[in-house]
Structure 1
Amino acid sequence: MAGRRKDMLICRCEEVTLAEVEQAIAAGAFDVSGVKRRTRAGMGLCQGKTCGTLVARIIARKRKMDVASVTPGRARPPVRAMTLSALAMRRA
């Protein structure tokens, strides 16, 4: 991502930029969950399905490590998108 614009969106759901992700890493985030806590990347509608891999790649590049070594974010229920009516029916 060398030469990329710092205002490039990494997480479209939460509008988190490359600069914000890099700042979180510089502040000590060493995994996807750490970036998520500092920036909200991965907290939107897709729950990190879109940006999680990209955040991991940025961490690996900045920390000079293999992307497979970066701890991925943890999935939280619901694991897939649900409508409120479907959720209400499950609780009835």
Structure 2
Amino acid sequence: MNQTIICRCEEVYLEDIHNTAITYNCSAREVKLRTRAGMGYCGGRTCRPAVDAILETITGEKAGHAIPMKVQPPVRPVPLAVLGGKIR
């Protein structure tokens, strides 16, 4: 299996997703939790379709039939000084 990057934010490769799905018989959500694919800055908006397609070829099930990955909108980081009230 080649080293194709599926999740750029967390640097998760096709081989990682494939091996995890085969070894643990995972749903999309479980693959996300085990590999961190979809947990990066984009919140899975970039890699989710690829992960769903990979799992569909391995399991033969559509992504809608299993527990889907949850997509989180990206959030800007907030410095602790702002939260602590030192910066206005």
Whether the 8 Å CA contact 1:9–1:18 is kept in 2: the answer is yes
Secondary structure class of the residue paired with 1:84: coil
Q: Does 1:82 align with 2:50?
A: no
Shift of 1:37: 1.4
For residues 30-45 of structure 1, what are the structure 2 equivalents within 5 Å? 30-45=26-41
The percent identity for this pair of structures is: 30
Match of 1:7 in 2: 3
For residues 22-33 of structure 1, what are the structure 2 equivalents within 5 Å? 22-33=18-29
Whether the 8 Å CA contact 1:10–1:17 is kept in 2: the answer is yes
User: 1:17-37, CA deviations, whole angstroms, 9 ceiling, x for partnerless residues?
Assistant: 000000110122432211111
Aligned partners of 2:29 and 2:42: how far apart in 1? 15
Q: Does 1:51 align with 2:24?
A: no
Runs of 5+ unmatched residues, structure 2: 84-88
Q: When the two structures are superposed, what TM-score results if normalisation uses the length of structure 2?
A: 0.76
Shift of 1:40: 0.9
Question: Cα RMSD (Å) of the superposition?
Answer: 2.4
Of structures 1 and 2, the larger Rg is shown by: 2
User: 1:39-62, CA deviations, whole angstroms, 9 ceiling, x for partnerless residues?
Assistant: 111111011111011101100110
Q: Structure 1 segments of 4 or more deviating over 4 A?
A: none
Q: When the two structures are superposed, what TM-score results if normalisation uses the length of structure 1?
A: 0.73
